Amino acid sequence: MAIKLKNSLTFIPVALLFFTLGYANAHLGPLNEIAVKACATKEKSQMCQYEGGHNDLYLGTCQYMADELMCVRNQPIQFIEQPEGTEQTKHTHNDNKYGFN
């Protein structure tokens, strides 16, 4: 009984360590360049917005991420309706830019 309890108590700190490392790595990726540009002339907590590549509008406030000020969405994504007869913006992904296949 004492051995099972000791093993259980060892498992908890090890599991917490792995969860913490995974959380930190999730925030190490490249920043969205458009979101960074949206706050280029603003200060922290100012309202900001930028358009995504699929006729969507992101609304939020400027916040620091990875020592850079960027627009962080804090409202629902809004769809931008295109006037009739205009072609939807073409958008491509360059997944290989960051090593994704």
pLDDT on residue 41: 96
* Rounded average pLDDT over 83-92: 61
H helix intervals, 27-60 = 33-37
pLDDT digits (tens, 9 = 90+) for 30-81: 678 999 999 999 999 999 999 987 889 999 999 999 889 999 999 999 998 8
42 neighbors 50 (Cβ within 8 angstroms): no
Is residue 52 packed enough to be buried (19+ CB in 10 Å), middle (13-18) or exposed (0-12)? Answer: middle
- Higher-pLDDT residue of 1 and 78 is 78
